[in-house]
Amino acid sequence: MKIYLYLLIALTSSFSFSQTKGRVTYKIISEKLTSDGNKKVFVEYLNNLNEIRDSLYLNLDFHNYESTFYVDDETNIGLSNEKGYKPIINSFKTYYKNDLTKISIKLVNLDKIYSVKSKTANSIWKITKEKKRIGNYTCIKAIAKVDDKHPTRGLYTKQIDAWFCPEIAISLGPNNYGGLPGLIMELKEGKFTYYVKNINLKPDFEIKIEKPKGKVITQKEYFDIIPTITRENIKEYIGN
C-alpha cells in the first residue's frame, strides 16, 4: 500500500511541471427532502430551490499554481428570472487557492462579502481501497473529516467523500478540496454531491485568476458572525 501511495504522490508532483492551465466544470445533485403535515409546503419550496441549484454550472479554473472555484453566472443567466435564483446564487462561496504560497480563501456573501481562511485545502485524507468507474475513468475513494458550523445546529464535524482519478494528475477539486493524487471527479459534502460535467485541459480562452482583496478573517471569526436561523426568521435569509 505504501508503494502505491508513493506512486500516486509522484503523479501529483509531476502535474506542477506538465499541466498549467485548464477548466473543469462541475454540477450538483441535491438530496431530495421529504416531509408531510404542516412542513410539506416549506419542504416543497426548498426542493424547488434545490432544482435551481442543480441546474447551475460551477467552474474550477487553474493556471500555474493558482486556482479558483465559482458559480458560472454567465452560463446560468437564463435561470435569473426563477423565484429563489438570487438567494441560491448568494449561497455559493467563491474559493481561491495558491499552492505555492499556501494561501486558501473562501468568499462568503452574508450581510457583506467576507474573505475567510479556507480550511478545506488542508483536509487530511484517508485513501481507501474502494474503486468505481466514473465515465471512462477508474476513480478511488478518499475520506476526510472537516469542522463546520450549521446555522441551526451549531459546530459539528462532517465527513467528506471524494472520488479522485489518478489518470488526471491535477490535485484539485470543488470548494478548495484537493491535495489528492488526482482530480476529484465526484465529491459528497452533506446533502450535496458535486460531479464533473466537463474537463478542458487545452482552453482556447483566457484563464484569469484574481486573488481576493481586503482583510482575511479566520474560520473561527467567520463562525462567530454566522447568523442563527430559526423557523421564524428563515425567510429573511432565503428570500420571500
Q: Read off the pLDDT of residues 3-48 as tens digits, 9 standing for 90 and up.
A: 344 334 444 444 433 458 999 999 999 988 777 666 776 777 777 7
Q: Flag whether 173 is in a domain.
A: yes
Q: Flag whether 238 is in a domain.
A: no
C-alpha to C-alpha distance for 9 and 14, rounded to whole angstroms = 9
Q: Flag whether 239 is in a domain.
A: no
Residue 58 — pLDDT band, cuts 50, 70, 90? Answer: very high
- Is a pLDDT exceeding 50 seen at residue 118? yes
- Is a pLDDT exceeding 80 seen at residue 232? no
C-alpha to C-alpha distance for 16 and 170, rounded to whole angstroms = 8
Q: Flag whether 237 is in a domain.
A: no
| Rg value, the chain, Cα | 18
Domain hosting 67: range is 2-232
Q: Read off the pLDDT of residues 145-177 as tens digits, 9 standing for 90 and up.
A: 998 877 667 788 899 999 999 999 999 999 999
Q: Flag whether 29 is in a domain.
A: yes
Q: Looking at residue 6, what is its pLDDT?
A: 36
